[in-house]
């Protein structure tokens, strides 16, 4: 089961920009690519670099620490040193508000 938490107003998330938000204590990064909101963990899977401080070009995000690259739409690693894909979150938009889905705790 997934529980949805309020994360941001839709108008706050601009195309091509990165936003760090905390969703129920989880560091989440939000962005908009080609009109689609993407939500993924804000910690690089290499050694936890802050991805919201990275560079986004199209859908490719470069980690500010050692340059690993990820596709923000899928979380897939495009370039090392990271080897593990980013966790991506499902989102829901209601009344111009973005909700991020986290797995419900048992």
Contacts with ligand FES, residue ranges (CB under 6 A): 44, 46-47, 49, 63, 65-68, 81-82
Nearer Cβ to ligand FES (21/51)? 51
Q: Look up residue 27 and give its two tokens.
A: 């560091």
Nearer Cβ to ligand FES (67/101)? 67
Q: What are phi and psi of 29, to 5 degrees?
A: -110, 135
Sign of CA dihedral 26, 29, 34, 37: positive
Nearer Cβ to ligand FES (43/98)? 43
Residue that the structure tokens 């973005």 belong to: 98
Residue 51 CB, shortest distance to ligand FES, in Å, is 8
């Amino acid at each position: 089961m997934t529980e949805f938490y309020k994360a941001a107003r839709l108008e706050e998330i601009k195309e091509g920009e990165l936003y760090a938000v905390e969703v129920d204590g989880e560091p989440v990064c939000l962005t908009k690519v080609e009109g689609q909101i993407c939500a993924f963990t804000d910690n690089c899977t290499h050694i936890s670099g802050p991805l919201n401080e990275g560079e986004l070009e199209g859908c490719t995000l470069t980690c500010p620490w050692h340059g690993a690259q990820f596709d923000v739409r899928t979380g897939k690693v495009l370039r090392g040193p990271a080897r593990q894909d980013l966790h991506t979150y499902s989102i829901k938009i209601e009344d111009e508000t973005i909700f991020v889905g986290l797995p419900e705790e048992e």
